[in-house]
């Protein structure tokens, strides 16, 4: 309901206009039936009646068209709003929460759930209009004969109660099919990401298609068809009750009590007319049921659209920050701990407690075996993971929910699994192209890529070249703290040398703090200090790690906790 309130706040004018247009159309339709009924009974048709007929017919057609046009606009604007808001909620949500959910669930929510919710939301005015039309018809029926009204109301109550019993089953099936569509999106992602592996291995491709995908697709089909079948049966039962009421009125009622043929014809006309809006309501109900399932799903993902993130302003900036990220002098990690939620029976991976200090103009190498926790520490430092205990202080100011987003603006990064946007997005400094072209030459990409209006001419590059382009983006960002997660791993020996012996010293000379996660022991001497991760703990670099300060001496932090202090 929060979501409905949220949507109504955004688009109440469109909803109101379409409801009014629909109501006028519905009421005019009921009036048209009354006029037709009177016309059938009059031997000499009056001109007033004829004009009423014309005006009402025009009103019905015009308002129906207007209502439909407005509803289409409402539908598209609702989908846009939902996609925008949900994307925003995803960007606001903690990284660890998103990692636990997985990309496939987020994609399913962004595409399937937004569609289903928007379609149902658009149907709400239609349901309102049809209910209003039905009430108008019932009022006319009551005016013709209240016992007949009671009969029809009885049939409707019977239909509604049986429908409610059946609907629970339909919702259960829709919920199951929605869960299956998460798995379906995971398979779609596997197709995209694993296309080369699937093409190369016939048996794997066959197993993927016939076992995984086919089973999931069929499970989705079965549950979805099951849910829709329940609704179809319920709607047919409702339709039958309508015909039953007409049958009783036409064939049984006159034999029970005296009634004029005129009343019977009028009541039959009303019931036949009511069948239109009634059928529409019943057809709309499965969509409403699926929207409920989609709403619950979005809530279950922890991405409720109605909620807002504490400290987050509407424009994405944060209130109440005391950080000056351009003029910082020390960054302290004090007693930081974190653990990854284990999958199944695995033991959780714990990191920390970690004490560490960074200063501008200092190049730090972070080494350690695979899975030792280097990237996890980097993500904690960047404020992308939230520590479970301990604190991060920038010039003595603790980082919290209110200033974390501002704190993150301290860093430029190239992650191991970096993403390259197709332009220098969000960078609108003067002479952006000129600045970028200087780095393009420096990174030896000028013969491969052109930059026009901040847009890269191509991304069809080798992995190493794409990583250089990501480095270019980081350079242009010109932020105070650089973090590279195994950046040099994809580079040829020549460019690896350029990175360690030219680019890093250049960043240092510009007063940047640099943290390099690396396995390149040949270049450890380029670091001011070298830290080692070992099973989630930060330990001193051993002499055999080869860590030597840039000025030639072994950096060997005397106490890792106080490194840099």
Ligand X SMILES: Nc1ncnc2c1ncn2[C@@H]1O[C@H](COP(=O)(O)OP(=O)(O)OP(=O)(O)O)[C@@H](O)[C@H]1O
Q: Which one of 376, 403, 406, 518 is in contact with ligand X (CB under 6 A)?
A: 376
In 389-468, at which residue ranges do the beta strands (DSSP E only) sit?
389-394, 397-398, 411-414, 451-452, 455-456
Q: Which one of 125, 136, 266, 368 is in contact with ligand X (CB under 6 A)?
A: 368
Q: Find the angle CA(404)-CA(410)-CA(416) to the nearest 5 degrees.
A: 95
Among 382, 343, 369, 416, residue whose Cα is nearest residue 535: 369
Question: Per rule CB under 6 A, is residue 313 in the interface with ligand X?
Answer: no
Write the interaction track for ligand X spanning residues 520-549; mark x where CB under 6 A is met and - where it is not: -------------x----------------
Handedness of CA 81, 83, 87, 92 (dihedral sign): positive
Question: Per rule CB under 6 A, is residue 375 in the interface with ligand X?
Answer: yes
Burial 468-483 (b: 16+ CB within 10 A, else e): bbbbbbbbbbebbbbb
Count of positions on this chain that bind ligand X (CB under 6 A): 12
Cβ nearer to ligand X, comparing 71 with 414: 414
Binders in 337-366 for ligand X, by CB under 6 A: 340, 349
Q: How far is the CB of 98 from ligand X (least distance, A)?
A: 10
What is the crossing angle of helices 2-41 and 47-92, to 10°?
Answer: 170
Question: Per rule CB under 6 A, is residue 297 in the interface with ligand X?
Answer: no
- From CA 443, how far away is CA 437, in angstroms rounded? 10
Question: Per rule CB under 6 A, is residue 372 in the interface with ligand X?
Answer: yes
Binders in 98-127 for ligand X, by CB under 6 A: 99
Write the interaction track for ligand X spanning residues 321-340; mark x where CB under 6 A is met and - where it is not: -------------------x
Alpha-carbon Rg for the chain, nearest whole angstrom, is 34
Those residues whose C-beta lies under 8 Å from the C-beta of residue 418, and which sit 6 or more positions away, are 467, 470
Query: Which stretch, 265-273, 317-325, 326-334, 368-376, contacts ligand X (CB under 6 A)?
Result: 368-376
Query: Which stretch, 19-27, 119-127, 292-300, 373-381, contacts ligand X (CB under 6 A)?
Result: 373-381
- From CA 203, how far away is CA 197, in angstroms rounded? 11
Cβ nearer to ligand X, comparing 2 with 99: 99
Q: How far is the CB of 100 from ligand X (least distance, A)?
A: 7
Cβ nearer to ligand X, comparing 352 with 368: 368
Q: How far is the CB of 557 from ligand X (least distance, A)?
A: 19
Cβ nearer to ligand X, comparing 316 with 371: 371
Cβ nearer to ligand X, comparing 53 with 418: 418
Binders in 260-279 for ligand X, by CB under 6 A: none
- From CA 301, how far away is CA 90, in angstroms rounded? 10
Q: Which one of 370, 447, 544, 551 is in contact with ligand X (CB under 6 A)?
A: 370
Half-sphere exposure of 264 (CA within 13 A, CB side): 16
Q: Which one of 289, 373, 383, 564 is in contact with ligand X (CB under 6 A)?
A: 373
DSSP 367: E
299 backbone φψ class: left, alpha, beta (φ>0; ψ -120 to 50): alpha
Q: Give the footprint of ligand X on this chain (CB under 6 A).
A: 99, 340, 349, 368, 370-376, 533
């Amino acid at each position: 309901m929060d979501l409905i309130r949220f949507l109504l706040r955004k688009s109440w004018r469109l909803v109101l206009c379409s409801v009014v247009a629909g109501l006028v159309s519905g009421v005019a339709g009921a009036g048209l039936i009354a006029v037709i009924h009177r016309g059938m009974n009059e031997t000499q048709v009056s001109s007033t009646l004829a004009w009423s007929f014309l005006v009402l017919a025009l009103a019905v057609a015009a308002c129906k068209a207007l209502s439909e046009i407005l509803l289409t606009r409402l539908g598209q604007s609702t989908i846009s709003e939902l996609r925008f808001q949900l994307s925003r909620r995803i960007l606001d949500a903690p990284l660890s929460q998103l990692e636990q959910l997985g990309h496939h669930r987020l994609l399913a929510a962004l595409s399937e759930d937004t569609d289903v919710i928007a379609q149902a939301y658009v149907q709400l005015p239609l349901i309102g209009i049809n209910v209003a039309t039905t009430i108008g018809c019932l009022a006319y029926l009551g005016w013709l004969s209240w016992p007949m009204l009671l009969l029809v109301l009885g049939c409707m109550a019977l239909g509604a109660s049986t429908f409610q019993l059946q609907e629970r089953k339909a919702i259960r099936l829709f919920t199951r099919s929605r869960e299956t569509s998460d798995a379906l999106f995971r398979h779609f992602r596997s197709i995209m990401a694993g296309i080369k592996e699937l093409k190369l291995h016939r048996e794997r491709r066959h197993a993927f298609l016939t076992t995984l995908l086919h089973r999931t697709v069929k499970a989705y089909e079965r549950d979805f068809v099951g849910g829709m079948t329940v609704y179809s049966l319920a709607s047919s039962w409702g339709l039958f009750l309508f015909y039953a009421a007409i049958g009783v009125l036409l064939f049984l009622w006159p034999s029970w009590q005296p009634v004029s043929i005129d009343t019977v014809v009028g009541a039959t006309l009303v019931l036949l007319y009511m069948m239109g809006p009634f059928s529409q309501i019943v057809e709309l109900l499965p969509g409403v049921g699926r929207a409920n399932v989609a709403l619950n799903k979005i809530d279950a993902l922890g991405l409720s659209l109605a909620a807002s993130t504490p400290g987050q302003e509407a424009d994405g900036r944060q209130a109440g920050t005391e950080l000056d990220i351009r003029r910082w002098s020390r960054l302290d990690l004090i007693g930081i701990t974190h653990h990854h939620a284990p999958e199944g029976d695995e033991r959780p991976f714990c990191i920390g407690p970690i004490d560490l200090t960074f200063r501008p103009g200092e190049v730090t190498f972070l080494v350690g075996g695979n899975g030792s926790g280097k990237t996890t520490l980097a993500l904690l430092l960047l404020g992308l993971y939230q520590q479970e205990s301990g604190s991060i202080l920038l010039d003595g100011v603790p980082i919290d929910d209110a200033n974390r987003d501002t704190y993150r603006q301290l860093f430029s990064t190239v992650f191991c699994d970096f993403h390259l946007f197709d332009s220098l997005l969000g960078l609108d400094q003067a002479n952006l192209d000129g600045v970028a072209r200087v780095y393009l030459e420096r990174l030896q990409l000028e013969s491969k890529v052109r930059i026009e209006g901040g847009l890269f001419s191509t991304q069809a590059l080798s992995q190493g070249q794409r990583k250089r382009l990501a480095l270019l983006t980081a350079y242009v960002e010109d932020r105070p703290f650089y973090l590279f997660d195994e950046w040099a791993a994809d580079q040829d020996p020549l460019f690896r040398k350029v990175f360690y012996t030219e680019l890093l010293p250049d960043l240092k000379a510009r007063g940047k703090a640099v943290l390099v996660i690396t396995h390149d022991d040949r270049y450890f001497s380029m670091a001011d200090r070298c830290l080692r991760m070992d099973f989630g703990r930060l330990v001193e670099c051993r002499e055999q790690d080869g860590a030597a300060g840039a000025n030639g001496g072994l950096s060997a932090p005397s106490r890792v906790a106080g490194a840099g202090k």
